Structure 1
């Protein structure tokens, strides 16, 4: 079963105060970092909305396929995408250190029926990060979206715990990118 990877890049970026997908981490915008990792393993589409005009412009400039969602919020947009495309792998545009192997693990495991929520065991979360914790795991933003159920899917990339939501997160991501050069 061919399952598309959809990068969610149409949010309002309220905590950041500006469009996150176009902000640079290292030598390129975050969206391009996520897209380049995803395109190594499958069909990729970027979900934009009226909330993200600069992200739409970046997609046009880089010839990245995109779709415009209603932009009414995460849950509404994910439901809309599920109706339009069927089961898919979702990734936020603000996880700049996602790897192709993270996407590959999802594609290899996802059966198209049961949703998977990407999690990271807390022992793998770097000390200075404060990810969303649920049931003893860090929620990392990568998901497999389907019609029924939900299971946790353990990943092992510690840098998935860094979701860039605030100016402080962006500064940390830029420092890490510099160190990883």
Structure 2
């Protein structure tokens, strides 16, 4: 926010600057919405990498944690690049200033949300993109095929898709996401979804135990480092 000062710039100048900034924001929203409509018309979908969390359990910005000299955000971007997704953005917040700087240097396009919580931020993103693939930034063993499967499932069901792993195959000792039951099986949400405004969600089950690993704690990081299948 610009503050009014006495000096070389008068109030009229500051008003013009505010108008220009407001118009720039409206144009950004306009082009974002129209880009989404173009992608929808072509049957395509974007991916948004969620990288705005506080990382309170591990004490740092998770996107910048390194596995075998590669940052988690870069591992996820690598998988997104190889998938069917047409384009991607990294969602950042006030909680992740270093991630924002890194994305700028890496030429990753970013979207900023308020950082008031997971569901609040998704609501903010939905107001701009009515459907998209969401991927947590802390999934080191995400593969392009996982994202493609989500997009294919959305094409079949035309509703929100929740990526999940059977609880029975989740590696012991890692921190787990939300657990729920579907068709008599206990499942663990793994941080990859197709997000829509629908109240319904269709689980998509992946029989891949490594996909259940989200780096939320130091223990999760140690477990991930033991694996030899990081890119």
TM-score in terms of structure 2 length: 0.73
Question: After the TM superposition, which segments of 4 or more aligned residues of structure 1 sit over 6 Å from their partners?
Answer: none
Instruction: Please name the residue that 2:120 is paired with.
Output: 76
Given candidates 143, 153, 171, the residue that maps to 2:222 is 171
Instruction: Please name the residue that 1:153 is paired with.
Output: 204
Given candidates 142, 145, 166, the residue that maps to 1:121 is 166
In structure 1, runs of 5+ residues without a counterpart are none
Q: How many residues align?
A: 179
Work out whether 1:9 is the aligned partner of 2:9.
no
**Structure (1/2) with the larger helix percentage:** 2
* In 2: Cα distance, 1:11 partner to 1:124 partner: 27
RMSD over equivalenced CA pairs, Å: 1.5
SS at match of 2:64: coil
Which structure exhibits the higher relative contact order, with contacts defined as CA atoms closer than 8 Å and separated by 6 or more residues? 1
In structure 2, runs of 5+ residues without a counterpart are 1-42
- C-alpha deviation, 1:58, in angstroms: 1.2
* In 2: Cα distance, 1:19 partner to 1:47 partner: 13
Instruction: Please name the residue that 2:39 is paired with.
Output: none
Bigger Cα Rg? 2
Give yes or no for contact 2:175–2:216 (8 Å, CA) kept in 1.
no
Instruction: Please name the residue that 1:24 is paired with.
Output: 66
- C-alpha deviation, 1:180, in angstroms: 2.5
Work out whether 1:140 is the aligned partner of 2:190.
yes
- C-alpha deviation, 1:156, in angstroms: 2.5
SS at match of 1:170: helix
> Per-residue CA shift, 1:47-91, capped at 9, x if unaligned?
001110111111111111111111111000001101111200101
Instruction: Please name the residue that 1:106 is paired with.
Output: 150
TM-score in terms of structure 1 length: 0.93
- C-alpha deviation, 1:164, in angstroms: 0.6
